[in-house]
Amino acid sequence: MTRLVILGGFLGAGKTTVLLQAARRLIHRGYKVGYVTNDQGAQLVDTAMAAATDIPVVEIAGGCFCCRYSELTTALQTLQTQVAPDIILAEPVGSCTDLVATVIKPLALQGGYDFAPLSILADSTAAPQALGPTVGYLQAKQWEEAQLILLNKIDMAAPRQLARWEQEIQSQRPDCPIYRMSGQSGDGLDTWLEVVLGRQSTDPTSLIIDYDLYAQAEERLGWLNACGQVRANQLSDMGFWVEELARQMASGLRDQGLAVAHLKILALDGATVCKGSLVGQVWTWDRPAGPAHVSHGWEFVLNLRAVAAPASLEEGLWKSLAQNQAMHGARYYITHLEAFVPLAPKPVHRVA
């Protein structure tokens, strides 16, 4: 029976990096692996990144797993048909919670899957409640239903910051195991894999949750997804372009007093891929292009989540592209652009 491993966690926690690392290690061990990505919009960096690494991936767009339940079951069946995976890794939307009642229990009733303990990832470089108490409600509820909590990015956090996070989590979930790990270096990843491969989820508890407050937290977040092509007049450094665009966009939002939850950009030129992420003010490379990959053009995918109105996010994108155009002598061809506030969550099924 296929084992389903769901890794939740708030925006920017590093779920994609962890799951891609996990997928590569599992494939190296001889497992057949499938991957399901999820977002409120379309055109995901996560999906493009997985596809670039030749991991079988299916994307569910337009809502979280619970609101797109039929699409989730179809995606799982697609992987079963095409790959016959031993393990499916599933990454829900970063602002999603109540997974036990709306995803795990309905799938368990349907049958056909063996469930690993629900894992929730936390970013040890961020400040707890950094986006305010309303959005923080989502994070607290994610921890509340976790069967395992993973403290990620330990290679980037100071010891005092790690201790603060563990204290914060233990104050809310003293009964839940906490594992330290780094999705970038892979430290602690094998320990987590042994747990999710060797231990089965048994009767997880459904949350008691206020869906009105859940909806208010979602409404605080603006989402922007964009993709397109860059054509430069002279040879330009693709990695420099990625990081510079991210910093320009984040700086412009901070100047307006707006908080960035997560910004990630992927650029692709043939077989060369680079992808970086900005969480708060911390920039990390998930897959750099190398010391310098110069090119006359590349494709890109950009996903931005911030405590901001969608119009502000779209305006910030156009301003930053204009600055880059002057710097690189580049032309931009936008093939997809959407900026929005997520709809209130309305699960198809909920098993209390």
In percent, the amount of the chain with pLDDT more than 90 equals: 66
* pLDDT tens-digit series, residues 68-127: 999 999 999 999 999 999 999 999 999 999 999 999 999 999 999 999 999 999 999 887
Nearest to 237 by CA among 295, 298, 322, 324: 295
Res 291: pLDDT: 67
The predicted structure's pLDDT at residue 84: 96
Q: Looking at residues 7-34, what average pLDDT do you find?
A: 94
What pLDDT is attached to residue 132? 75
**pTM of the predicted structure, to 2 decimals:** 0.92
Q: Is residue 196 over pLDDT 80? A: yes
Mean pLDDT value across residues 42-64: 83
DSSP state of 155: T
For residue 23 the two structure tokens come to 């997928």
Burial (0-12, 13-18, 19+ Cβ within 10 Å), 351: middle
User: What average pLDDT is seen over the chain?
Assistant: 91
Residues 6+ apart with CB under 8 A from 16: 37, 45, 46, 49, 50, 91, 286
**Residue type at 186 in one-letter notation:** G
pLDDT band at 270 (very low <50, low <70, confident <90, very high): confident
289 confidence band (pLDDT: 50, 70, 90): low
Note whether 17 and 317 are within 8 A (CB): no
pLDDT computed for residue 129 by the predictor: 63
CA distance 28 to 4: 18
Using the structure block, give the residue that is written with the tokens 């911030």.
306
The answer, yes or no, to whether residue 42 has pLDDT greater than 90, is no
Residue 168 Cα distances to 139, 154, 302, angstroms: 12, 16, 32
> Mean pLDDT, to the nearest integer, of 233-252?
89
Phi, psi of 165 (to 5 degrees): -65, -45
Does 283 have pLDDT greater than 90? Answer: no
Tens digits of residue pLDDT in 301-326: 999 999 899 999 999 999 999 888 87
**Rounded to whole angstroms, how far apart are CA atoms 274 and 269?**
9
What is the per-residue pLDDT for 51?
77
